[in-house]
Structure formats: structure tokens, C-alpha cells
Amino acid sequence: MNANSTYDSELVARAVAQQDAAAFGELVRRHQSQVRNFLRKLTRDASLADDLAQDCFMHAWDKLHTFVGRGSFIGWLLKVAYTTFLQAKRKSNRYGEILEQAGHQDVSNERQSMPTSDEITDLDKFLAVLTEEERAVMILSYACGLSHREISETADLPVGTVKSIIFRGKEKIRERFEISDHQHG
Amino acid sequence: MKSVIINMVDRMKDTEDRRLESLFASDAIPDAGFSMRIEKRIRRQLWVRRLALPIAVVIGGAIAVKPLAGLVTSLMNFVSVLPANVSSNLSGVSALNLPQMSTIALGSMLVVAVITIARLFEE
């Protein structure tokens, strides 16, 4: 455990024991960038991601007493973020279904607007060929730098499944974009 | 020969991983008041939670005060019109009408169950 995570634990303890909003605010300041980046890559929509990040931190505040300091705080926070994302997606799917049944267009999809063609980056192209689960695991691994064990805790998957998802994701990217050619060239 | 192949595979994997890491890398997002907004929402939530019970008590009290006063007044009127000998025997009658131990226990369990369910709903 490094000094930073020890300090995180101290802030968590203060926030839980004294209902200290300032201590939690400091935790938000430290980790907001990573959480928002994770959600932005996952949703590919900056404003939606920021809304989800706010919800994520509010959920984290409510569930802070369940953080027992077994892993890193950012790992726990990303788990909350991923759960928030999945819950929002489930809700928006249900909302879309209700609207479809009522004969309306699926407005929930309109909100998750994709970037315009000139804004599409290599990463967008790569993420587009992955399933949602593969995308989450790849982002947690390569963008957030979590270990396989941490990803397994965050995404609620066995470590073996995490490894095979990463392998499969890399294979897909390799097949579609011929990365191996670039790296050997 | 075998070890050379394994090393090459490891090196390829590392190169690919590094390339993916650089592809997934992004600049830090500036806070720009984000954490302040969260902090404000939390402080507001704390105040709402702190005030909820006293406000509920005050509102409940305000609603209950009139019927309660009416009940006390009618009870007092009732006792005052009773004949003296009935009033003296009233303690014996009321003892018979007191709730039994089993009723009290059942009522207590019901109260505990209601509180637990209410807390579950709140969570």
C-alpha cells in the first residue's frame, strides 16, 4: 500500500466517521479526472459521462462505509462508476422501450450522441469494434492501469474471464486494424 | 531456441500493450468546479437529513394537537359526569381492559418490523 492510498483511507475514515463533506471533496478532487475519463471512454459522450460521474460520486458518498480498504480507493470508485453506468444504461433502455411501445422515437439513443466524423479518433474506432464488456475491461486495463485482479473486482468478473476478455479484445483490434504490422514495421 | 521464442512473444506483447496504453491515454480533466458541486450536493443532503426528523415531528405535532386536545377535553368531561361510586371503581374496570402481555409483545414486534422495513426502503 503506498502513501497516497493510505491517505485516501484516512480521508475515507474521516468522511465516514464525521460525515465530513470536505474530506470527501478532497477525494473527489483527487480522483474526478480518472473517473470522468473512464466514463467518457465508456459512454463516448462527455456531458452524459459528467452527469454519470456526479451520480457516481453521490452513490460513493452513500456507500462509503462499505469501503473496507482491501484494495485501492480508485478501484472501488471505478466499480461504483461502472455500476452507475450499467444502471443508467438499463434505465435508458427501459425508457426507450416504453417510448417505442408508445410509438415514439428512441430519444435515449439520441442523447448518447456519437462523435461526428471529423471528431472520430483511432480510439473511437477501436472501441467501436468491442462489445460493451470488452470496452469496459480494456479501458480499465489500458486507460486506468488497473491490474487483472483489480479489474475482476471492479467489473465483478473472475480473473480468468478478465484475461480472456483482454485477449479477445486485443485480437479483435489486431484483426481489424493490423496493429501487429505497425509494431513490426 | 525455445526461450528465444518465448522472449520474442513477450516482447511483442509488451510492444502491443504499450501501444494500446498510449492509444488509451488521455489528458487529465481539469476539475473546473466539479468537486465543489459534489461537495455542495453532499452538504445539502446532510442538512436535509438532519432537518427531516425535527420537521416531521413539528408537522405531525401541529396536525395532532387539535384532535389530541379534543380527546383530552372529552375525557375530562366524561370523568366529571360519572357518579362518584363508578369513578371509585374505575381503576378496577380499567385494569381488566389493560392490554395483556402478549398484545404488548406483538405490538412491539410490529413496531420493530415497521421501523426495519422503513429503514430498508430508505436505503
**What global pTM score does this model have?**
0.67
**B96 vs A120: which has the higher pLDDT:** A120
A103 domain-assigned: no
Q: Measuring CA to CA, how many Å separate A59 from each of A78, B2, B50, B59, B123?
A: 12, 51, 19, 30, 11
Contacts of A111 (CB under 8 A, 6+ apart): A45, A48, A92
- What does the pLDDT look like over B1-30, one tens digit per residue? 444 444 454 445 578 888 888 888 888 899
| Residue A49 contacts residue B66 (beta carbons within 8 Å) | no
Find where cell 459522450 sits.
A45
Q: In this model, does residue A183 exceed pLDDT 50?
A: no
> Measured in whole angstroms, how far is the alpha carbon of residue B44 from the centre of its chain?
16
pLDDT of residue A95: 65
Task: State the maximum Cα–Cα separation within chain A, in Å, rounded to a whole number.
Answer: 58
Q: For residues A69 and A5, state if they share a domain.
A: yes
Q: For residues A126 and A67, state if they share a domain.
A: no
Burial class (CB in 10 A: 0-12, 13-18, 19+), A133: middle
A19, A58, A173 member nearest B46 (Cβ): A19
* CB neighbours of residue A167 within 10 Å: 10
Q: Which of A37-46, A105-114, B63-72, B108-117 has the highest mean pLDDT?
A: A37-46
A21 domain-assigned: yes
A100 domain-assigned: no
Nearest to residue A153, comparing CAs of B81, A144, A49, B93?
A144
DSSP-derived 3-state class of residue A81: helix
pLDDT band, residue B86 (cuts 50/70/90)? low
B46 domain-assigned: yes
B45 domain-assigned: yes
Q: For residues A70 and A128, state if they share a domain.
A: no
Q: Which residues of A touch B34 (CB under 8 A)?
A: 28, 32, 36, 50, 53-54
Q: For residues A3 and A69, state if they share a domain.
A: yes
Q: Rounded distance, CA B110 to CA A65, Å? A: 29
- What does the pLDDT look like over B28-54, one tens digit per residue? 899 999 999 999 999 999 998 888 888
- What does the pLDDT look like over A2-12, one tens digit per residue? 445 558 889 99
Tell me whether residues B26 and A37 touch, CB distance under 8 A: yes
A154 domain-assigned: yes
Q: In this model, does residue A180 exceed pLDDT 50?
A: no
Minimal Cα distance from B14: which residue of A? A183
Q: For residues A77 and A129, state if they share a domain.
A: no
Residue A164: give its domain's CATH number.
Answer: 1.10.10.10
Q: Which residues of B touch A50 (CB under 8 A)?
A: 34
Q: Can you say whether residue A23 is alpha, beta or left, with left for phi > 0 and alpha for psi between -120 and 50 degrees?
A: alpha
Q: For residues A53 and A123, state if they share a domain.
A: no
Instruction: Find the domain containing A179 and state its range.
Output: 116-185
**B95 vs A36: which has the higher pLDDT:** A36
Q: For residues A4 and A81, state if they share a domain.
A: yes
Q: What is the DSSP letter of B30?
A: P
Q: For residues A76 and A123, state if they share a domain.
A: no
| Residue B24 contacts residue A123 (beta carbons within 8 Å) | yes
> Measured in whole angstroms, how far is the alpha carbon of residue A124 from the centre of its chain?
15
Residue A79: give its domain's CATH number.
Answer: 1.10.1740.10
B27 domain-assigned: no
Q: For residues A3 and A76, state if they share a domain.
A: yes
Tell me whether residues B24 and A41 touch, CB distance under 8 A: yes
B1 domain-assigned: no
Nearest to residue A149, comparing CAs of A160, A139, A138, A136?
A160
B16 domain-assigned: no
Q: Cβ of A170 under 8 Å from any chain B Cβ?
A: yes
* CB neighbours of residue A177 within 10 Å: 15
A90 domain-assigned: no
Please tell me the total count of domains within chain B.
1
Q: Cβ of A7 under 8 Å from any chain B Cβ?
A: no
Minimal Cα distance from A25: which residue of B? B39
pLDDT band, residue A112 (cuts 50/70/90)? very low
User: Which of A:95-114 have CB within 8 Å of B?
Assistant: none
* Cα-Cα-Cα-Cα dihedral sign, residues A110, A112, A114, A115: positive
B44 domain-assigned: yes
User: Which of A44, A62, A85 is where one domain is finished?
Assistant: A85
Q: For residues A123 and A63, state if they share a domain.
A: no
Lookup: cell for B34: 466539479
A33 domain-assigned: yes
Please tell me the total count of domains within chain A.
2
Q: For residues A2 and A81, state if they share a domain.
A: yes
Q: Can you say whether residue B85 is alpha, beta or left, with left for phi > 0 and alpha for psi between -120 and 50 degrees?
A: alpha
B121 domain-assigned: no
Q: Rounded distance, CA B93 to CA B70, Å? A: 24
Q: What is the DSSP letter of A70?
A: S
Q: For residues A17 and A80, state if they share a domain.
A: yes
Helix/strand/coil percentages in chain B, nearest 5: 85, 0, 15
Instruction: Find the domain containing B70 and state its range.
Output: 33-82
pLDDT band, residue A138 (cuts 50/70/90)? very high
What is the percentage of chain B residues whose pLDDT exceeds 70? 73
B75 domain-assigned: yes
Q: Residue length, chain A? A: 185
> What is the interface pTM, i.e. ipTM, of the complex?
0.72
